[in-house]
Chain A
Amino acid sequence: KNEVEQSPQNLTAQEGEFITINCSYSVGISALHWLQQHPGGGIVSLFMLSSGKKKHGRLIATINIQEKHSSLHITASHPRDSAVYICAVPETSGSRLTFGEGTQLTVNP
């Protein structure tokens, strides 16, 4: 089973700050997912990446396959970025994703 650890568990920032959320996993993977869950519960897929870096607006995701580590960065953070950010990796077999416990981000104005 792939173990997924996210840090920090909770993060409070001021508007405009640069945010970094980290994810480590134990077993080599083909791709990693970053998801965003808003207070209402709905989940949005932000990135799926297998190497290097991806950027979408103010969000940047990086992955280091050798070190089994990924980071999600938010530049110029805004209160609307407040959400739970979840990292997910596939199991070695089957259709299953293993999810991290999530990082609760609160951005204050």
Chain B
Amino acid sequence: ETGVTQTPRHLVMGMTNKKSLKCEQHLGHNAMYWYKQSAKKPLELMFVYSLEERVENNSVPSRFSPECPNSSHLFLHLHTLQPEDSALYLCASSLAGGPPDTQYFGPGTRLTVL
């Protein structure tokens, strides 16, 4: 499998649930990103990892917890989410950790919080 993959593609969860989103890239990239896209809003950067170290945390609530065990995998652990957290969560990767590298996006996870 090539490119950037994300699982699951769709997720419905209650506010008390704990779930995790997974992202995997097979491009040999060193940087990985989590973005949130709410309806009718621009993409918002959540986290950036470069060589498995978090280099940016864009004031994201602690109910979102990222994990990057190696340069190919990125997780977003979710707990006690709110309905306003319902959105499309996109993972991306790039060769290095800063712009203007081209970022390659996964298909996204459509999250609904009830």
Q: Are B31 and A42 closer than 8 Å at their CB atoms?
A: no
Residue of B nearest to A44 (CB): B105
Instruction: Determine whether A41 belongs to the interface, using a CB cutoff of 8 Å to chain B.
Output: yes
Residue with the highest number of chain B CB atoms closer than 10 Å, among A48, A50, A95, A96:
A95
19 contacts between A and B (CB under 8 A): A30-B99, A40-B108, A41-B107, A42-B106, A44-B105, A45-B104, A45-B105, A86-B43, A88-B43, A90-B99, A94-B98, A95-B33, A95-B50, A95-B98, A96-B48, A96-B99, A97-B99, A99-B42, A100-B42
Chain B residues with CB below 8 A from A48, complex form = 100, 102
Interface band, chain A: 20 to 34
Chain A residues with CB below 8 A from B55, complex form = 94-95
Per the bound structure, the CA–CA distance linking A50 and B102 in Å amounts to 12
Task: Count how many pairs of residues, one from A and one from B, have CB atoms less than 8 Å apart in the complex.
Answer: 71
Instruction: Determine whether A43 belongs to the interface, using a CB cutoff of 8 Å to chain B.
Output: yes
Chain B residues within 8 Å of chain A by Cβ, number: 28
Chain B residues with CB below 8 A from A45, complex form = 102-105
Identify the 3 closest CB pairs spanning chains A and B, nearest first: A90-B99, A31-B100, A43-B105
Instruction: Determine whether A101 belongs to the interface, using a CB cutoff of 8 Å to chain B.
Output: yes
- A7–chain B nearest beta-carbon distance, Å: 14
0/1 interface trace, chain A 11-39, chain B, CB 8 Å (1 if under): 00000000000000000011111010000
Chain B residues with CB below 8 A from A91, complex form = 99
